[in-house]
Amino acid sequence: MTSSNSSVQTEAEAPSEEAQAAPTFADLGLDGPVLKVLSDVGYETPSAIQAATIPTLLEGRDVVGLAQTGTGKTAAFALPILAQLDVDQKTPQALVLAPTRELALQVCEAFEKYAARMRGVHVLPIYGGQGYGVQLSALRRGVHIVVGTPGRIMDHLSKGTLDLSELKFLVLDEADEMLKMGFAEDVETILADTPDTKQVALFSATMPSQIRRISKKYLNEPAEITVKTKTTTSSTITQRYLIVSYAQKVDALTRILEVENFEGMIIFVRTKNETEGLAEKLRARGYSAAAINGDVAQVQRERTVNQLKSGKLDILVATDVAARGLDVERISHVVNFDIPTDTESYVHRIGRTGRAGRTGDAISFITPRERYLLGQIEKATKQELTQMQLPSVDDVNTTRLTRFDDAISEALTQSDRVEKFRDIIDHYVRNHNVPESDVAAALAIVAQGETPLLLDAEAERKERFERNQREQAERKERREREGGGDSRGGSRGDSRGGGERAPRRSRSSGKPMAMYRLAVGKRHKVEPRQIVGALANEGGLSRDDFGAIDIRPGFSLVELPADLSNDVLDKLTGTRISGKLIELTPDRGPSRDSGDRPYKKRYDS
């Protein structure tokens, strides 16, 4: 569908404080079951993007929406689609493309929530990492709305298992992210191979030239809707930072957890290995914490997120990729245990809290060497972060005493139980001639157990020193164990002789790396970012899992962790880049193309 150069541009301001001027969802043209469910979930006033987008989509217009994450754009396209859905049609009527599985699942959940008062609406998530069997069974039964990642959607289209011939609505959610991850060609193929009569809504945080080109080529006179924001981060988020050395991070985090009044928390680290290690240390200190990363099976990931939502889990330790798309109301705090090196990641991370008008707190750990990153973040977000001091022993003790007081006050409200125990205490005082205050202190000792209620500064310093010594010894032992077969100490396989390549170690994670071969190269117009985006999305890999990337005319070589599981390898083997199966296999040596000048880029530097 080719558009003309003309488009309607609307700038949606943030809602004013004058409630009488704010439109209702009924004013936007919504009615029936969709309007009822909005009342059920407590939605009263549309957000800026919703107020501008919903009426436009209901009129049948194509839309280009420029809005940051957390502005309510999912409802902006989901509600009009549901309002116009024909439940008797069993082939997909709406397709939503999302850059990651997490966002796809979040959009799916939103559709299901908004369709709660509609009978027989079927929504299907399609993404890498999930078995084909579940998806194929659902497609055979009939679905109305498909939400998926471009790579897996392309797989189904190439196999003929997804029929989009009667598609009425197509949504590109976070289009700029999809392009960054290398899905541009897949997105354009899907746009071109779906009915010309479909209505298209494209949402993006930015408007790079490639998005503008896609809009002009495939959208029909789209209404351009921009949500104006003063900053790239929400004003409802309190942003603080702490200058701390790398060795002190865990102790600093423990102190902060003691004094901060948090409900749910996400702690961001750089690598998958660090998620597991930090979560284990927090559990050892008595906190309910779990790790989420690309190696965690999808079923387990969903279970962990549900535990966070329900309150069975309080802390999630995550990487950027694993946490993208998470929207959990309980998340009151985000901690950047490792500060990201780019401001965009920072904005996405802290956007997990303070969403849709809620307040939140973001705390970033910054080592002395990373101070320059603080300046970059403040410049990009146009917001100054507030420096905080490490909570002292007195701060921790004050907080503990306050919570102890609160626990006593709470217990005193249970008058029936207090009365029964009062008789028991009176009996003890009479028979043992002990003051009531001493009995109360003894009962506090019984309730507290072996762990002291208050910190002792000297004992705390000694314990911290001993703990650091133990952890250093464990790290040294682990390095020696993993380095026992280091190729530097023995014979190396000579790649020129055609033998297997000796494993190299990633400089960022210390993992042994191996070279893999992909059946796509320069002639397929492949770039390193496409390889990283596709493999990260389908295999749940992080940026730290990539080493050197060599792009040759007919194939490419990429360094990945040597210990990839068979499950991950199976997923990656079926991945497509630029519409072509990559047929990932371990590289066994040079081919006739090996003399060509490669396009090299290293990701672990």
> Is there a single domain that holds both residue 262 and residue 405?
no
Residue of 86, 76, 62 lying closest to 25 (CA atoms): 76
Are 212 and 7 within 8 A, CB to CB?
A: no
152-157 own/partner pairs: CB under 8 Å, 24+ apart: 152/126, 152/127, 152/128, 152/538, 153/95, 153/97, 153/126, 153/186, 153/190, 154/186, 154/189, 154/190, 154/576, 154/579, 155/574, 155/576, 156/126, 157/190, 157/193
Mean pLDDT, range 233-261, rounded to an integer: 86
Distance CA 556, CA 575 (A): 14
534: which 2 tokens? 């596709």
Query: Going along 403-509, which residue ranges are E strands?
Result: 504-505
Q: For residues 512 and 292, which has the higher predicted lDDT (pLDDT)? A: 292
Distance CA 23, CA 37 (A): 17
> Is there a single domain that holds both residue 517 and residue 596?
yes
Question: Looking at residue 220, what is its pLDDT?
Answer: 93
Taking the CA atoms of residue 159, residue 160, residue 166 and residue 172 in that order, the dihedral angle to the nearest 10 degrees is 0
Residue of 94, 123, 93 lying closest to 110 (CA atoms): 123
DSSP 28-40: TT--HHHHHHHHH
Question: Token match 């217990």: residue?
Answer: 411
> Is there a single domain that holds both residue 401 and residue 385?
no
Residue 578: pLDDT band (50, 70, 90) is confident
> Is there a single domain that holds both residue 280 and residue 210?
no
Question: Looking at residue 504, what is its pLDDT?
Answer: 58
Residue 356: pLDDT band (50, 70, 90) is low
pLDDT higher than threshold 60 for residue 30: yes
- Provide the sign of the torsion angle of the four alpha carbons 117, 120, 121, 122, taken in this order: positive
Distance CA 333, CA 266 (A): 7
What count of Cα atoms within 13 Å lies in the side-chain half-sphere of residue 470? 7
Q: Give domain status of residue 172, yes or no.
A: yes
Write phi, then psi, for 263 (nearest 5 degrees).
-105, -65
Question: Looking at residue 12, what is its pLDDT?
Answer: 52
Question: Of 229-233, 328-332, 579-583, which range is least confident?
Answer: 229-233
Residue 347: pLDDT band (50, 70, 90) is confident
**Residue 463, Cβ neighbours under 10 Å: how many?**
13
Which tens digits make up the pLDDT trace of 85-98?
999 998 999 999 99
Residue 473: pLDDT band (50, 70, 90) is confident
State the residue range of the domain holding 506: 499-602
Question: Looking at residue 482, what is its pLDDT?
Answer: 52
> Is there a single domain that holds both residue 556 and residue 433?
no
Taking the CA atoms of residue 183, residue 189, residue 190 and residue 191 in that order, the dihedral angle to the nearest 10 degrees is 110
Q: Give domain status of residue 483, yes or no.
A: no
**Considering 410, 425, 448, which residue would you say is the last residue of a domain?**
448
Are 92 and 126 within 8 A, CB to CB?
A: no
Percent of the chain past pLDDT 70, that is, above it, reads 78
Question: Of 123-137, 382-396, 405-419, which range is least confident?
Answer: 405-419
- Provide the sign of the torsion angle of the four alpha carbons 476, 478, 481, 484, taken in this order: negative
Residue 450: pLDDT band (50, 70, 90) is low
> Is there a single domain that holds both residue 93 and residue 141?
yes
Question: Of 24-33, 359-368, 483-492, 558-567, which range is least confident?
Answer: 483-492
**Considering 227, 253, 288, which residue would you say is the last residue of a domain?**
227
> Is there a single domain that holds both residue 411 and residue 330?
no
Distance CA 32, CA 25 (A): 11
Mean pLDDT, range 272-288, rounded to an integer: 89
Question: Token match 């190729």: residue?
Answer: 487
Q: Give domain status of residue 79, yes or no.
A: yes
Are 366 and 339 within 8 A, CB to CB?
A: yes
> Is there a single domain that holds both residue 417 and residue 524?
no
pLDDT higher than threshold 60 for residue 486: no
Mean pLDDT, range 475-502, rounded to an integer: 45
Question: Looking at residue 365, what is its pLDDT?
Answer: 95
Question: Looking at residue 460, what is its pLDDT?
Answer: 65
Mean pLDDT, range 101-113, rounded to an integer: 87
480: which 2 tokens? 């020696």
Q: For residues 132 and 6, which has the higher predicted lDDT (pLDDT)? A: 132
Work out the angle at residue 511's Cα, subtended by the Cα atoms of residues 505 and 517, and round it to the nearest 5 degrees: 70
Q: Rg of the chain over CA atoms, in angstroms?
A: 28
Mean pLDDT, range 498-507, rounded to an integer: 47
Question: Of 25-29, 131-135, 305-309, which range is least confident?
Answer: 131-135
Mean pLDDT, range 109-122, rounded to an integer: 91
* Ramachandran sector of residue 502 (left: φ over 0; alpha: ψ -120 to 50; beta: rest): beta
> Is there a single domain that holds both residue 325 and residue 312?
yes
Q: Give domain status of residue 488, yes or no.
A: no
Counted residue by residue, the chain has a size of 605
Q: For residues 68 and 559, which has the higher predicted lDDT (pLDDT)? A: 559
Question: Looking at residue 457, what is its pLDDT?
Answer: 63
pLDDT higher than threshold 60 for residue 253: yes
Question: Looking at residue 231, what is its pLDDT?
Answer: 45
Mean pLDDT, range 400-426, rounded to an integer: 75
Question: Looking at residue 98, what is its pLDDT?
Answer: 92
Q: For residues 524 and 129, which has the higher predicted lDDT (pLDDT)? A: 524
Residue 404 burial class via C-beta count within 10 angstroms: exposed 0-12, middle 13-18, buried 19 and up: middle
Q: Give domain status of residue 454, yes or no.
A: no
What CATH number does the domain containing 40 carry?
3.40.50.300
Mean pLDDT, range 218-229, rounded to an integer: 85
Q: For residues 322 and 290, which has the higher predicted lDDT (pLDDT)? A: 290
Q: What 3-state DSSP class applies to 241? A: strand
Question: Looking at residue 594, what is its pLDDT?
Answer: 41
> Is there a single domain that holds both residue 180 and residue 244?
no
pLDDT higher than threshold 60 for residue 173: yes
Distance CA 77, CA 67 (A): 13
Q: Give domain status of residue 94, yes or no.
A: yes
Highest mean pLDDT among 13-17, 492-496, 508-512, 516-520: 516-520
pLDDT higher than threshold 60 for residue 4: no
Mean pLDDT, range 131-151, rounded to an integer: 91
In this structure, the strands spanning 199-204 and 63-66 are parallel
Distance CA 555, CA 589 (A): 13
Are 164 and 139 within 8 A, CB to CB?
A: no
Average pLDDT value over all residues in the chain: 79
Q: Give domain status of residue 490, yes or no.
A: no
> Is there a single domain that holds both residue 212 and residue 250?
no
Question: Looking at residue 205, what is its pLDDT?
Answer: 82
> Is there a single domain that holds both residue 189 and residue 286?
no
**Considering 407, 427, 448, which residue would you say is the last residue of a domain?**
448
pLDDT higher than threshold 60 for residue 499: no
Are 319 and 266 within 8 A, CB to CB?
A: no
**pTM above 0.75?**
no
pLDDT higher than threshold 60 for residue 7: no
Write phi, then psi, for 562 (nearest 5 degrees).
-70, -20
pLDDT higher than threshold 70 for residue 101: yes
Question: Looking at residue 400, what is its pLDDT?
Answer: 66
What CATH number does the domain containing 525 carry?
3.30.70.330
Structural domain total, the chain: 4
Q: Give domain status of residue 473, yes or no.
A: no
